[in-house]
Structure 1
Amino acid sequence: MNPISNVYNWQRLTPEDAHYYFGYYDRNPWNADQTLHLMLRIDQCERLPLPGEKAEIGVVTPNGGWRKITETRAWCHQQGCMELFHPQRPDCIIYNDFDPETRRLEARIFQLGKGEVGRYRRPIYALAPNGRYAVSLDIGRIPRRGYSYADCPVGDSLYPADPDHDGIFLIDLKTGEEKLLASYRAMLEKHPYRYSAEGRYIWLNHAIVNCDSSRILWLFRQTPDQHQVRGWQTFMYTCGLDGKDLCCVLPEAYWTRAISHQIWGRTPNEILVDANWDGTGHHAVVLDESEHPFRAVKLAESHGIMSHMIFSPDGTRLLADSYPDADGVQTLALIDSATGAMDILGRFNHRPEKPNIGDTRCDLHPRWSPDGHYITVDSIHDGRHRACYLLKI
């Protein structure tokens, strides 16, 4: 009997000698022909990484088997090192690392079987689906250590040193040319209640490019104490990849105790969120960010608690995981986009007496393969190691 499901046959992809995981749910871990799946290998999951501590980057095949490629000092438990296959160079991966000589984060290109073949001056956060561009932001400013890197300690400056020339950047993957799409100054000018950001530490994260590579969304966050990271406020912004039409689509008033995650949907302007706007629990909700004011539509009831959600490549289904319930169980559901019908794909018992919801926790972070036939998740339900599991559907 499969411990995850009595119906679906989940397969463990990674060895049992260490902790293995991919990272976030908003990106594709597979190579072009779906024969290799990217993975990180680490020795511990009980604490945050220390400065200088490395993670191994490698690949596994759908039948299992691990092969190390390289190492990185720029990694975290929630999002790894942003490792991805390079869209313009199928035999290469792109990932973030820390250069001890320059004391800077950067993105590196590694050719399988050969070695490092290039670098970008800034770290990457996301890739555009058209394969032409990467999005960058100052990961070192992110005070949540489960989403940033140990070699870049959080500073004391509430605002970036140069808010006119720092913010969301676009990198041309072919030439390495950089362009500032939206500055902190421009975001503050569009801030729906700018006074609330005064005397607050501000940062950016969770940048994602839409399906036709025409627009980007990200979160602008502010907190009274960057060293505690409690009581932060969230504002979701969007703009075109040409830097035009900058807008704060979802102010903080829509977020508090109502949304935990967001991602682009099936069309260039559709955004999917796990909203609890009616007070009955978190549901799968979509909105058109080009409409002002927007009109939200509920697709499905979902789990009723906070969830990572993502549409299948063809848009007909969506995956929705859950945070641990009172017993430490995380549930993964497959939802029909048209009817809202839900099928439980698995229940992952993460076992601890008190479920870990801190920066070293292990979320499922469900991910589709490009053809929509495979799902992978990260889980620690065996009680020993963080591991990657695969389901063919």
Structure 2
Amino acid sequence: MSTERIIAKPLPCRRVGAGEPHHFFGYYNKTNWDRSGRYLLAQRVPMADADLTPDLVAEIGYFDLQDNDRFHRVGVTTAWNWQMGSQLQWLDGEAQRQLVYNCRTQDVKAFYPNLGATIFNLDTGEARQLPMPVYVVAPDSRYALCVDYRRLYVTHQTIGYSDHGTQPALDNAPADDGIHYMDLRTGQTRLVVSYADLRNFNPRASMDKAIHWVSHIEINPSSSRVLLLHRWTERVEDETCFLHRLITVNPDGSDMRLLECSDHPLPQLAEDFDPNAVGTFDYEKSEYQISHPLWQDDSNIIVWGPHAGSIHYHLYHDSPGGKVEVIGDGILTENGHMTFSPTNKRWLLSDTYPDAHTNERVLFLFDMAQGVRHDLGSYYTSPVLKKENRCDLHPRWSRDGRHVCIDSIHDSERQMYIVDVSALIDEAGQA
């Protein structure tokens, strides 16, 4: 299929809310609209940029899009970061309107001391605590998968939670920690995949001296299968030294499958290598990066990464030796945060990282049927922002597949914007 790139006609775009506080949602992998389309989840903070500390407070709440975007606060948290927020999300499998977010607790005896999650019921006003912070919640809302955010703060600071005092030394691949399954009704937890399990699964020599962790854990629509990125490195301070594998597994830890591995020589481990020579977004643009995997459906996964010697948007089938298909060859040429429309898999939504010269990020839709990329807008970001406090667009679909919500800082404020893509989709549907 031939591909082309076109600039879309100007589309309606509006900021959500007004006033001085800053607002953001965080990651791209879930919708922040509720089932009715009326309420839009957000975190509210007093500043657009700050180095995170364990005491920095974010308000948890939602905008009422049918009441002049009035913001309703339901709680506060100090367990958050600029990339993922507090993992705030709706519990779509529950009959009542409920949301969940991570928080710090007073429980020093918890498996991850003083870290947990809160479920808030909008219909009853009741809140209840969970004993672990969530990383991802199953679409059926029966369970969540959990990891140690303090470990992430050491291995991949951008998506971790800081803590007071000196971080204790971490084991490279412990057998008693990894991915935990947490029942959202009872709060019961169990370890289902340990870091030792991952290191021992089709091991590579580069793993022997490396510290291991997981990120980008995602659960398929039927809540029956899990994908994750297994990452390891000997040099956590330099992301270009991260090595990656795309793995799938059942929620109980069984039937682990290796879909892709980007193990490669690392000249950066040489003693005379200067990590300051690495650009802010060089990691995201690396030809070895496996990044931002997400389920298209129960059996297929979209991801940016290398396969068979070249890097593209790839579509993997979750099966041993499954088919791997290049998406948007020659036009989807750099890493982004991609998701398929919830109503029509013809439409792939994504973005780009900032251009090294203009600092502009592009929001776009890719038409899988026609091979056409529609650029929806370009948004400036300050080059002063660092990896840990940057503001990616992280585009998210509305549930009817007709609107897109982004986080952006192009107006010198960290705010959320809604782009109406319905006219473009309707027009393309007539073609």
TM normalised by structure 1 equals 0.89
Residue identity in the other structure for 2:302? L
Counterpart residue number, 1:124: 134
Identical aligned residues as a percent: 29
Residue identity in the other structure for 2:53? L
| 8 A Cα contact 1:192 1:251, kept in partner | no
1:20 paired residue among 17, 20, 23: 23
1:329-344 aligned within 5 A: 329-344=360-375
1:166-245 aligned within 5 A: 166-193=177-204, 195-227=205-237, 229=239, 231-245=241-255
| 8 A Cα contact 1:26 1:263, kept in partner | no
In the TM superposition, residue 182 of structure 1 has moved relative to its aligned partner by 1.5
Residue identity in the other structure for 1:147? I
In the TM superposition, residue 252 of structure 1 has moved relative to its aligned partner by 2.3
Counterpart residue number, 1:323: 353
Task: State the alpha-carbon separation in 2 of the partners of residues 181 and 46 from structure 1.
Answer: 37
Task: State the alpha-carbon separation in 1 of the partners of residues 206 and 151 from structure 2.
Answer: 19
| Structure 1 residues 242-294: Cα deviation after superposition (integer angstroms, max 9, x where no partner) | 322112322123896244523333332211012465888x6432111313264
| Structure 1 residues 275-326: Cα deviation after superposition (integer angstroms, max 9, x where no partner) | 465888x643211131326433324544422211111113120101000112
| 8 A Cα contact 1:31 1:90, kept in partner | no
Task: State the alpha-carbon separation in 2 of the partners of residues 378 and 198 from structure 1.
Answer: 39
| 8 A Cα contact 1:284 1:301, kept in partner | no
Residue identity in the other structure for 1:250? E
| 8 A Cα contact 2:246 2:290, kept in partner | no
In the TM superposition, residue 72 of structure 1 has moved relative to its aligned partner by 0.1
Task: State the alpha-carbon separation in 2 of the partners of residues 20 and 66 from structure 1.
Answer: 10
Task: State the alpha-carbon separation in 1 of the partners of residues 89 and 83 from structure 2.
Answer: 15
Matched, 1:388 2:416: yes
1:40-59 aligned within 5 A: 40-59=43-62
2:298 paired residue among 268, 274, 277: 268
Counterpart residue number, 2:340: 311
Counterpart residue number, 1:370: 399
Counterpart residue number, 1:248: 258
In the TM superposition, residue 346 of structure 1 has moved relative to its aligned partner by 1.1
Q: Which runs of 5+ in 2 are unaligned?
A: 1-6, 265-283, 423-431
Once structures 1 and 2 are overlaid, which stretch shifts more, 136-145 or 323-332? 136-145
Matched, 1:157 2:170: yes
Counterpart residue number, 1:38: 41
In the TM superposition, residue 343 of structure 1 has moved relative to its aligned partner by 1.1
| 8 A Cα contact 2:287 2:306, kept in partner | yes
Once superposed, what is the RMSD of the aligned Cα atoms?
2.6
Task: State the alpha-carbon separation in 2 of the partners of residues 235 and 154 from structure 1.
Answer: 26
Residue identity in the other structure for 1:70? G
Give the number of aligned pairs.
Answer: 383
Matched, 1:360 2:389: yes
Task: State the alpha-carbon separation in 2 of the partners of residues 246 and 279 from structure 1.
Answer: 24
Residue identity in the other structure for 1:58? G
Counterpart residue number, 2:82: 77
Counterpart residue number, 1:90: 96
Once structures 1 and 2 are overlaid, which stretch shifts more, 249-258 or 103-112? 249-258
SS at match of 1:79: coil
Cα–Cα, structure 1 residues 321 and 154, in superposed 2: closer, same or farther, change >3 Å?
A: farther
SS at match of 1:187: helix
Cα–Cα, structure 1 residues 14 and 300, in superposed 2: closer, same or farther, change >3 Å?
A: farther
SS at match of 2:200: helix
| 8 A Cα contact 2:13 2:419, kept in partner | yes
Residue identity in the other structure for 1:78? Q
Task: State the alpha-carbon separation in 1 of the partners of residues 50 and 8 from structure 2.
Answer: 30
| Structure 1 residues 137-181: Cα deviation after superposition (integer angstroms, max 9, x where no partner) | 112211222211123764322325xx3332112222222222322
Cα–Cα, structure 1 residues 335 and 345, in superposed 2: closer, same or farther, change >3 Å?
A: same
SS at match of 2:263: helix
SS at match of 1:140: helix
Cα–Cα, structure 1 residues 347 and 108, in superposed 2: closer, same or farther, change >3 Å?
A: same
Q: Which runs of 5+ in 1 are unaligned?
A: none
Cα–Cα, structure 1 residues 26 and 96, in superposed 2: closer, same or farther, change >3 Å?
A: same
Task: State the alpha-carbon separation in 1 of the partners of residues 380 and 19 from structure 2.
Answer: 18
In the TM superposition, residue 71 of structure 1 has moved relative to its aligned partner by 0.4
